[in-house]
């Protein structure tokens, strides 16, 4: 099998690649303003989703369609694909890669997307593998910060909520460590950021502060990155109930935040950001989906026609 470039992990992206990607995403935003471009004409993307999704799947599909490509999609692979008939991921990968030029997959098991990719001779993109990683969400989050703050260096980024199971948190951390960033982790006891990620950040020379009290520490944050408690990752649902509602970002907390702070959230939200915050100009979470389309357009273009030399 020939060497294929996949997007499986945030570890693949260094500082220069990230900055080049953000420039490309800016170009894609200009293309979006005129409705799209036909550069991926004749190309087909397959989306294989084994877990619920609104933004990630639509975002990839929208990106592909905006670039003139086409899409074949299964939003419920777990119940409506041949895996239900005991087919292995290997055989599914081999099969779908005969029919598509690029595959996007989401799956509840860490490492499963990389496993499928090893049997595919077309690029495979990780759309989220269990609690592990969600590289393209991390990329669009950093793109949002870069756009809003002008740079990623010198920022204090607060991550709030389920830092243990939140794969987006893990992806953001691994990407942000490429920059001069200070981390503040705010989580309830039991949902702290995994030790191996904290170690990775410390090894990269990043300063880390831990807290359980958002109210006390919010004033230090340039970026407030919220995440929901990941209900589907708890084996015992009563444990989830313990944490639900642990942090709620509301108007009174926003009064304590910096005037030029920004609030990001990958969505979906449950109750961790009160709707009254939506109208606050510092709230950027409803701008992130559009940024996500631009970032995914840049990635698809790069994978399928390899035009972006610096990436
Ligand atoms: C996130 C995910 O699926 O990990 N959502 C997304 O992709 N926009 C975050 C979440 O589900 O909490």
What's the gap in Å between 54 CA and the centre of ligand 1? 9
Phi, psi for 185 (deg, rounded to 5): -105, 120
Per-residue pLDDT at 2? 60
Q: Residue 228: which pLDDT band, with cuts at 50, 70 and 90?
A: very high
Residue to mutate, 134, 169, 296, ligand 1, most ligand atoms under 8 Å from C-beta: 134
In order of 206, 219, 226, 262, 263, the CA distances from 258 in angstroms are: 22, 6, 16, 9, 11
> Is the C-beta atom of 128 inside 6 A of ligand 1?
yes
Q: Above pLDDT 70, what percent of the chain?
A: 98
CB 44 within 8 A of CB 70: yes
Query: What integer best gives the mean pLDDT of the chain?
Result: 96
Q: Residue 288: which pLDDT band, with cuts at 50, 70 and 90?
A: very high
Strand partners, 47: 73, 104
Per-residue pLDDT at 12? 96
Residue 307 predicted with pLDDT over 60: no
Residue 60 predicted with pLDDT over 90: yes
Which segment of 233-247, 248-262, 270-284 scores lowest on mean pLDDT? 233-247
Q: Which two tokens stand for residue 109?
A: 């098991």
Residue 89 predicted with pLDDT over 60: yes
What's the gap in Å between 56 CA and the centre of ligand 1? 8
Closest residue by Cα to residue 4 from 91, 127, 124, 128: 124
> Is the C-beta atom of 127 inside 6 A of ligand 1?
no
Q: Residue 96: which pLDDT band, with cuts at 50, 70 and 90?
A: very high
CB 136 within 8 A of CB 115: no
Q: Above pLDDT 90, what percent of the chain?
A: 94
What's the gap in Å between 105 CA and the centre of ligand 1? 14
Phi, psi for 47 (deg, rounded to 5): -110, 120
Instruction: Check 106, 170, 228, 302 and give the catalytic one.
Output: 106
Q: Residue 244: which pLDDT band, with cuts at 50, 70 and 90?
A: confident
pLDDT for 115-154, tens place per residue? 999 999 999 999 999 999 999 999 999 999 999 999 999 9
Strands (E), the chain: 44-49, 70-74, 102-107, 124-129, 155-160, 181-186, 208-211, 223-226, 262-264
Q: Which two tokens stand for residue 7?
A: 């997007």
Residue 20 predicted with pLDDT over 90: yes
Closest protein CA for atom 1 of ligand 1: 266
Is 6 considered catalytic here? no
Per-residue pLDDT at 309? 47
Per-residue pLDDT at 1? 55
Per-residue pLDDT at 311? 46
Neighbours of 289 (CB within 10 A): 17
Per-residue pLDDT at 3? 79
CB 293 within 8 A of CB 66: yes
> Is the C-beta atom of 226 inside 6 A of ligand 1?
no
Residues 6+ apart with CB under 8 A from 55: 266, 267, 289, 292
pLDDT for 145-191, tens place per residue? 999 999 999 999 999 999 999 999 999 999 999 999 999 999 999 99
Is 134 considered catalytic here? yes
Residue 310 predicted with pLDDT over 80: no
CB 149 within 8 A of CB 222: yes
Is 41 considered catalytic here? no
pLDDT for 5-16, tens place per residue? 999 999 999 999
Atom of ligand 1 nearest to the CA of 127: 7
Residues 6+ apart with CB under 8 A from 278: 286
Average pLDDT of the residues in 265-289: 97
Instruction: Check 10, 56, 92, 136 and give the catalytic one.
Output: 56
Please report, for the chain, how many H helices and E strands are present, in that order.
12, 9
pTM across the whole model? 0.96
What's the gap in Å between 122 CA and the centre of ligand 1? 25
Closest protein CA for atom 6 of ligand 1: 266
Upstream peptide bond of 268 is cis (omega within 30 degrees of 0):
yes
- Domains in the chain (CATH in brackets) are 10-133+289-305 (3.40.50.1370), 135-285 (3.40.50.1370)
What's the gap in Å between 272 CA and the centre of ligand 1? 14
What's the gap in Å between 267 CA and the centre of ligand 1? 6
Is 85 considered catalytic here? yes
């Amino acid at each position: 099998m020939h060497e294929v470039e996949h997007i499986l992990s945030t570890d693949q992206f260094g500082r220069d690649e990230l900055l080049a990607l953000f420039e490309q995403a800016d170009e894609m935003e200009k293309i979006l303003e005129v409705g799209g471009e036909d550069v991926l004409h004749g190309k087909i993307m397959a989306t294989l989703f084994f877990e619920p999704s609104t933004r990630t799947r639509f975002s990839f599909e929208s990106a592909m369609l905006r670039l003139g490509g086409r899409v074949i999609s299964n939003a419920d692979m777990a119940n409506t694909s041949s895996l239900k008939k005991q087919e292995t991921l290997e055989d599914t990968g081999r099969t779908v890669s005969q029919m598509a030029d690029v595959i996007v997959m989401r799956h509840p098991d860490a490492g499963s997307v990389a496993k499928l990719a090893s049997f595919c001779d077309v690029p495979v993109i990780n759309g989220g593998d269990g609690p592990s990683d969600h590289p393209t969400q991390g990329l669009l989050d950093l793109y949002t910060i870069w756009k809003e703050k002008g740079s990623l260096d010198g920022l204090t980024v607060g991550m709030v909520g389920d830092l243990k199971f939140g794969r987006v948190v893990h992806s953001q951390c691994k990407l942000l460590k490429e920059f001069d960033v200070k981390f503040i982790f705010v989580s309830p006891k039991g949902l702290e950021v995994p030790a191996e990620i904290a170690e990775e950040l410390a090894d990269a020379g990043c300063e880390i502060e831990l807290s359980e009290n958002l109210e006390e520490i919010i004033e230090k944050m340039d970026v407030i990155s919220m995440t929901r408690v990941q209900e589907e990752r708890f084996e015992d649902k009563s444990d989830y109930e313990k944490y639900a509602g642990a942090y709620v970002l509301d108007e009174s907390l926003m009064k304590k935040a910096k005037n030029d702070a920004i609030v990001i959230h990958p969505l979906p939200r449950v109750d961790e950001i009160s709707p009254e915050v939506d109208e606050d100009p510092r709230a950027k979470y409803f701008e992130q989906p559009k940024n996500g389309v631009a970032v995914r357009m840049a990635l698809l273009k790069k994978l399928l026609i390899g035009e972006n030399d610096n990436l």
